[in-house]
């Protein structure tokens, strides 16, 4: 499977810079020329690693970015600025590859996590039904997209009309920050349908995360939790939270 470009990873790569001392005193969000809102540091426009203005269409999103810059101490720590990192990647990367990013996400729908079910044990199959079926029902009602189910990992072709409806939903996302967040959630969960449901506010981030980890949780209950795996999952959950925050902030655009 071709994974979508991961805006969060791209932003992290761009922001692996030497620690710098805090170089500003005042932080302000103001309306930008041409629309949207931008971050001002000491009255000057903040810049992304690509030297673009740090701006977004959503004021709530920029207010969250401003909070990250305001809480920095004597030094500026990019690791403590996850929403800024996501927005950087949206501006420097996703905004220039919108169609390609939509295509990357849409490809997940062709082999979406929700469509592959265990036949046994029944406890796992039932857990999958409880977690997956509500999202598939939402996709059928909200998107008009009905998907085929498969046993285990045997590939099943999906109806072209269902895939077209998913692509249409993605084509309607014209805000780079929202599309970057969608890409992150798709990559983290393995499901374009889960990502779209979170974007529309039909599934909470917590419900989406639980659905994406039904199989893993089943195995953990039987065999116990590996601590390194737990740490990786917690780090990925933080990325999920950030993407969900960005989607919530851009939902009414």
Please give the class, per CATH, of domain 97-250: mainly alpha
Q: Which CATH superfamily is domain 7-95 in?
A: ATP12-like (3.30.2180.10)
Q: Where are the domains of the chain?
A: 7-95, 97-250
Residuewise pLDDT in 10s, the chain (253 residues): 455 666 656 555 554 556 789 999 999 999 999 899 999 999 999 999 999 999 999 999 999 999 999 999 999 999 999 999 999 999 999 999 999 999 999 999 999 999 999 999 999 999 999 999 999 999 999 999 999 999 978 899 999 999 999 999 999 999 999 999 999 999 999 999 999 999 999 999 999 999 999 999 999 999 998 899 999 999 999 999 999 999 999 997 7
First to last CA, the chain: 31
Q: How far is CA 146 from CA 136, 190, 246, in A?
A: 7, 18, 28
């Amino acid at each position: 499977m071709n994974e979508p470009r991961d805006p969060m990873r791209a932003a992290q790569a761009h922001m692996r810079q030497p620690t710098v001392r805090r170089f500003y005193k005042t932080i302000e969000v103001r309306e930008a020329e041409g629309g949207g809102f931008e971050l001002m540091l000491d009255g000057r426009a903040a810049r992304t690693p690509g030297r673009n203005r740090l701006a977004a269409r959503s004021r709530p999103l920029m207010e969250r970015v401003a909070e990250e810059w305001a809480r920095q101490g004597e030094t500026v720590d990019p690791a403590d600025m996850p929403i800024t990192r996501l927005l950087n990647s949206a501006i420097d990367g996703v905004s220039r590859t919108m169609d390609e990013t939509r295509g990357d996400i849409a490809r997940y729908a062709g082999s979406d996590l929700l469509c592959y079910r265990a036949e046994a044990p029944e406890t796992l199959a039932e857990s999958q039904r409880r977690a997956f079926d509500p999202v598939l029902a939402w996709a059928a009602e909200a998107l008009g997209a009905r998907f085929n189910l498969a046993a285990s990992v045997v590939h099943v072709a999906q109806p072209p009309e269902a895939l077209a409806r998913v692509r249409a939903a993605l084509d309607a996302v014209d805000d780079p920050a929202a599309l970057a967040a969608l890409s992150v959630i798709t990559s983290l969960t393995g499901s374009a349908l889960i990502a779209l449901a979170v974007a529309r506010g039909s599934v909470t981030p917590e419900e989406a995360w639980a659905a994406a980890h039904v199989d893993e949780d089943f195995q953990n209950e039987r065999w116990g939790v590996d601590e390194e795996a737990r740490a990786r999952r917690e780090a990925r959950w933080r990325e999920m939270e950030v993407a969900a925050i960005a989607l919530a902030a851009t939902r009414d655009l």
